[in-house]
Structure 1
Amino acid sequence: MHENKRVLVTGGAGFLGSHLCERLLEQGCDVLCVDNFYTGTKHNVQHLLNHPMFELMRHDVTFPLYVEVDEIYNLACPASPIHYQRDPVQTTKTSVHGAINMLGLAKRVNAKILQASTSEVYGDPAVHPQTEEYWGNVNPVGARSCYDEGKRCAETLFFDYHRQHNLQIKVARIFNTYGPRMHVNDGRVVSNFIVQALKGEDITIYGDGSQTRSFCYVDDLIDGLMRLMARGPEFTGPVNIGNTGEMTVRQLAETVIEIIGSSSKLIYKPLPEDDPLQRQPDISLAKKELDWCPSTNVQAGLRNTISYFESVLDRG
């Protein structure tokens, strides 16, 4: 790594992006954080603003960006159903135009580029757990398609730039991730359950709570992304990055209540459209190629996340 590698992080003021910026600065990189603040917030990177190697730029990746960098992490895209369904056309544009613009930039400056893809490319999987070879079972015309198909198209573009222009690409398929700096109102189970339990409100479970999720703590995930970026050009991915510890949504709710010592009760509501019933990564490829495996257990990860939400709610 040469002195002060210049790294661009799109979506850098978001939940994952802000953690990534922090880790890159710790490694001595020069970090350009780009965000349009649609779901990211300045609060997430407030503590980095005085760092001499950190720069924050308000920019929307659906427009070209002209900067000089060595590496690009393309994380820009609203990632929770509430946010990405609010403006579905913009969500698709962010994934597709954003990928085209960032790939164009990478090609121009000869940078290595990583795409933050998602387990949603597998749709409601007919294969369990999901390996990278599985092509997915995705509804192209549903309410979630703007995100699922946008990310699938971004992967297509990455591989076409790789084949056609010999660009150095990396594609990470991120499974459910949680931790400090998650959006309070992002509608995801971890943040929903924690906020409801801290407020002593009933905890809302959609469906009967038997659907499963596998939750990866943010520090583990960032470690996986950075290992993927550091890996030689012969390994492009796509590679699953997530935790294999599958648990039901009901178990998660009960764990949160127990850690907080909350008096919240569980209430059940109908399951939303195209909500996958099972989600669990097969991470054999990440273990083999990146020597990566998540190390944070759910109890420890939830405790850190809960204390973060306590401070946010106190700030009001």
Structure 2
Amino acid sequence: MTAWTFNEDLAGMSEALTGSWPQLAGKRLFMTGGTGFIGRWMLEALREADRRMGLGVTVDILTRNPAAFAAKAPHLVNHPGFNFIAGDVLSLRANGERYDYVLHAATDASADLNENDPLRMFDTIVAGTRAALDLAVRSKAKRFFFFSSGAIYGAQPWEVTHVAEDYRGAPDLGTHRSAYAEGKRAAEMLCTIYARQQGLNIVNARIFALLGPLLSLDIHFAAGNFIRDAMAGRKVVVQGAGTAVRSYLYAADLTVWLWKILLEAPPGGTYNVGSEDGISIAELARRTATLLGDAGFEILGREDSGWNPGRYVPSTRKIQDELGVAPTVGLDEAIVRTARWNGWNG
């Protein structure tokens, strides 16, 4: 483990993309979801690259509450190339502007919303994606980037250790808990249709589980909850049996991969984005408790009510082979860096 600072991640991302950044010089981007976890990482990396290289890139960023984000990240809001626009993806309309790239990352990945208002979840994903696609067509964008999810594959069979992009599984249509996953599938179909009928150049990232600074520790992500409790000196508790398997890509690696997809992938390129290093939730709890404290962990063994109590681990051979990327930060270091960002000094 290292005496890490966030500036090291900024420098590392900037350097990893040295050959890619010049493609954005003088370009105009439109982005939805720019104030979420993934979107903010992308903006942090772009701001650093612009500061270092003088790209002169401009980004219009749609957000429901610019003032709230300004209080959280004033350095991004005050960056001269970033323009934060108040609005919602469901009311998004073409604004008469021309954009070189449209990035659609807006989705409320809320377990509570998926459970209690799945219709709103589904509508937000599908209608929001269509609105973003329409904006891309009317602004004559040369590329549209859709941020999808590994959830589109449905439940991953245990015997499939790493699900690849050509896997033909699908979410279970017999449960409302598939609203998020099926919404992403429908949105991907919209992208396919717009590529065919509108000639839109589209690329797609199917994103799996993530970990790193800027991740909220109080929402439904197990890894974040475990870090929160271990930092507070509390026992790390697994509500279920802990047999579900996940993998976690560090956010700085994620960011490099996403910018590579936007700038270097061939038209129609679709890639899994995640880590191949699977870990059970029980082992994740044990490891987090060990790394960050001494309060221990406990497995309660209750029934798992989530959408996927099984395996959720991608194959990333395609993106590694085609775009030359690879993970650089392992899980233990990702846990420690996330904790340090949130004030842990152990």
TM-score normalized by the length of structure 1: 0.91
Question: What is the match of residue 288 of structure 2?
Answer: 256
2:338 matched to 1:279? no
- Aligned match for 2:30, one of 8, 24, 27: 8
Matched-pair contact (CA < 8 Å) for 2:286–2:296: no
Structure 2 CA distance for aligned equivalents of residues 206 and 119 of structure 1: 23
- Aligned match for 1:214, one of 230, 247, 251: 247
Question: What is the match of residue 168 of structure 1?
Answer: 201
- Aligned match for 2:147, one of 116, 119, 122: 116
Matched-pair contact (CA < 8 Å) for 1:13–1:37: no
**Once the two structures are superposed, what CA deviation does each residue of 1:81-128 show, in whole Å capped at 9, x if it has no partner?**
235435322221221011111100111112111111001001112333
Question: What is the match of residue 242 of structure 1?
Answer: 274
Question: What is the match of residue 155 of structure 1?
Answer: 188
Question: What is the match of residue 77 of structure 1?
Answer: 107
Question: What is the match of residue 64 of structure 2?
Answer: 36
**Match for 2:262: what amino acid?**
M
Q: 5+ unaligned residues in a row in structure 2: which ranges?
A: 1-22, 51-56
2:87 matched to 1:59? yes
Structure 2 CA distance for aligned equivalents of residues 257 and 265 of structure 1: 6
- Aligned match for 1:140, one of 161, 170, 173: 173
CA gap 1:27/1:241 in 2 versus in 1, 3 angstroms: same
**Once the two structures are superposed, what CA deviation does each residue of 1:258-295 show, in whole Å capped at 9, x if it has no partner?**
12123143132321143241111111110122112111
Question: What is the match of residue 305 of structure 1?
Answer: 338
CA gap 1:42/1:276 in 2 versus in 1, 3 angstroms: farther
**Once the two structures are superposed, what CA deviation does each residue of 1:51-97 show, in whole Å capped at 9, x if it has no partner?**
11112122111112334321111110012423543532222122101
When structure 1 is superposed on structure 2, of 118-127 and 1-10 the one drifting more is: 1-10
Structure 2 CA distance for aligned equivalents of residues 154 and 121 of structure 1: 10
Q: Secondary structure at the match of 2:123?
A: helix
Structure 2 CA distance for aligned equivalents of residues 285 and 2 of structure 1: 24
**Once the two structures are superposed, what CA deviation does each residue of 1:138-180 show, in whole Å capped at 9, x if it has no partner?**
1124232220111000000001100111101011000101111
Matched-pair contact (CA < 8 Å) for 2:94–2:134: no
**Match for 2:111: what amino acid?**
P
Structure 2 CA distance for aligned equivalents of residues 2 and 80 of structure 1: 32
Structure 2 CA distance for aligned equivalents of residues 2 and 35 of structure 1: 22
CA gap 1:279/1:254 in 2 versus in 1, 3 angstroms: same
Question: What is the match of residue 177 of structure 1?
Answer: 210
Q: 5+ unaligned residues in a row in structure 1: which ranges?
A: 312-316
Question: What is the match of residue 104 of structure 1?
Answer: 134
Structure 2 CA distance for aligned equivalents of residues 262 and 253 of structure 1: 12
CA gap 1:308/1:2 in 2 versus in 1, 3 angstroms: closer
CA gap 1:58/1:43 in 2 versus in 1, 3 angstroms: same
Q: State the Cα distance separating 1:197 from its structure 2 match.
A: 1.4
Tell me how many residue pairs correspond in the alignment.
309
Q: State the Cα distance separating 1:300 from its structure 2 match.
A: 1.5
Q: Secondary structure at the match of 1:85?
A: helix
**Match for 2:292: what amino acid?**
I
